[in-house]
Amino acid sequence: MKRKFYIGFIFVLQCNSALLWAQIEPEEIKLDTDQFQELFYESLLQKGIENYDKAIIALEKADKIKANDATVNFELGKNYFALKEYSNAYNSFEKAAKKDPKNKWFWMGMYDVTFQTKNLTQGIAIINKLIEFDPKYKEDLASLYMGSKQFEKALILIQELDETIGKTDRRELYKNQILSEGKFQNIEISNLISQIEKYPDKESNYISLIFLYSKNNEESKAFEIVKKLEKAIPNSEWAQVTLFKNYVEENDGANAVKAMNTVLASSKIDSKIKHRILNEFLIFSNKNPQYAADLEKAVGYFENDKSVNVAQEIGKFYYNKKQWENAIKYFENALNNRSDESVETNLLLLQALTETKQFDNLAKKAVVLLESYPTQPQFYYYAGLAKNHLQEFKKAKDILEMGIDYVVENKELEINFNIQLGEAFNGLGDFKKKDLFFSKANQLLKEKK
C-alpha cells in the first residue's frame, strides 16, 4: 500500500512539474514585448531614412512575435508600396483590414495600390467600402466609373451628387463627355424633367434641358421648356426667348427688339437659340424696314462667333431676294470681321456690285483680290468686266487674257471670259479678234445646251 502511494505521489509531482514548465515566466512576456517594440521602432527608423528593405525585415520579425497586430501589416504595406512592390503592398494592407475592418487607413492603403496599378475594378470595390466611412469618396467613384467607361453608372451618380451637394466643374466635364454619346442623353433628359418638377425655381435645370433639346435639333421641345421657365421664373433671361416670339407674332417691334437684345447679350443662352432669334428678327425686319438699324446692331453680337459668319448669312438672305444694297452692306461687314472666308463672300460681293453697276468699286476690289488670289479666275473676270465698263479696254484685255488660263471645267465662266474679251477688243477697235471671241462664246453656249 505504501509503495502504491509513493508511486502515485511521484506521478503527481511529475505532472505538476510539467505544468510548471509549460507556463511562461512574466519576465519572458516582458522580454517579448520589449523585443516587439524595439523591432517596430527599428522599422520606423529604417523607413524614415528610406531603408525600406531593412524596415520590412524588422517588421517580419515583429510579426512573428505578435501575429495579430494589424499595424505591423499596415507598416509592411507602406514599405512595400515605397518599393513599388504593389502586390505585396496590397496583400499587407488587406491583412490589416481583415484584422481591423473599421480602420479607414487600411482600406486607403489598398485604394492607393489600385490607383497606382490602374486596377479600376479593384479600385471600385475598395472605394465603395471607403464610402461607408465618408460619402465624399463618391467623387472618386464617379472618376473610376468614367475611367472604366461605365458611363451609365457615372451619369446616375453625377446626377445624385449634383442634387445632394451641388455641381462641380469636373462633374460637368464628365457629364458633357457622357452626353456627347447620344444613347445616354435620355437618362439625363428624364433626370432633368424630374428635377424641374421637384425644384421648379431652379433655373439651371431648365437651361440644361433646353441645351440638350437644342443640341439634338429638337427645337420645338426646347421652346416648350422655355415656356415653362417663363412661367416659373418670369425674370429669367431665358424667358425673354418666349417673350420675343410673342412680340414678333403681335407685331410689337419695339418690345421684340428689347427682348432680342437681352437674349443676344446673355452668356447663359445657347448660341443655336440666339441664331434662331436673329433669323426670326431678320424676316421681321425685312417686312418692317424701320427696324433695319436694330438688325445691324444685333449682328454685332455675333462678331466673335466662330461657328457661323452671321453677317455673311444675312448678306446671302438679301442676295437671294435681290436686295443688292443690303447684301453689299452685310458682305462687307462679314469681310471686315471674318477674312478667313473671303473667297466665297468676295465673289458674292463682286456680283452684287455688278448688279448695282458700281464698276469703279468693283474694279478696285477685284484688282486687290488678284494680289491675294492670283490663281482664282473669277476675280480676273470681275476685274476685266469692270475695266470694260470703265472703258479701260487695254487693262481689261490684259487681265482677261491672264485669267482665262486658270479656267478649268467651268463652261459658264469660260463663256463670260470670251464675251468680255470680245468687248475689250471691240473697244480697242480690233474687230477681227472681237468676232473671234464672240464666236467662241456662241459655240460654247451651243455646247452647253
Residues 420, 415: Cα–Cα separation, whole Å: 9
Where along the chain do its domains lie?
A: 357-449
Helix (H) or strand (E) holding 393: helix 393-403
**Alpha-helix runs per DSSP H in 100-238:** 104-117, 120-133, 138-147, 151-165, 169-179, 185-198, 203-215, 219-232
Taking only the tens place, the pLDDT of each residue in 42-81 is: 889 989 999 999 999 999 999 998 888 999 999 999 999 9
* Sequence-separated (6 or more) residues with CB below 8 Å from residue 77: 88, 89, 90, 91, 92, 93, 96, 109, 113
Residues of the chain with pLDDT under 70: 1-32, 338-341, 449
* Sequence-separated (6 or more) residues with CB below 8 Å from residue 218: none
CB 382 within 8 A of CB 362: yes
Q: Is 64 exposed, middle or buried (0-12, 13-18, 19+ CB in 10 A)?
A: exposed
Sign of CA dihedral 380, 318, 307, 301: positive
Which DSSP category does 137 fall into? G
Question: Where would I find the beta strands (DSSP E) of 233-322?
Answer: none
Q: Would the pTM of this model clear 0.75, i.e. be above it?
A: no
Amino acid letter for position 37: Q
Taking only the tens place, the pLDDT of each residue in 217-254 is: 787 888 888 888 888 988 888 888 888 988 898 899 99
| Residue corresponding to grid cell 523607413 | 47
Residues 71, 54: Cα–Cα separation, whole Å: 17
Residues 331, 310: Cα–Cα separation, whole Å: 10
Taking only the tens place, the pLDDT of each residue in 352-370 is: 999 999 999 999 999 999 9
Residues 37, 30: Cα–Cα separation, whole Å: 11
3-state secondary structure of 208: helix
Residues 155, 169: Cα–Cα separation, whole Å: 14
Homologous superfamily assigned to 357-449: Tetratricopeptide repeat domain (1.25.40.10)
CA–centroid distance for 410 within its chain: 42
Residues 352, 355: Cα–Cα separation, whole Å: 5
Q: Rg of the chain's alpha carbons, rounded to an integer?
A: 42
pLDDT, the chain, mean: 87
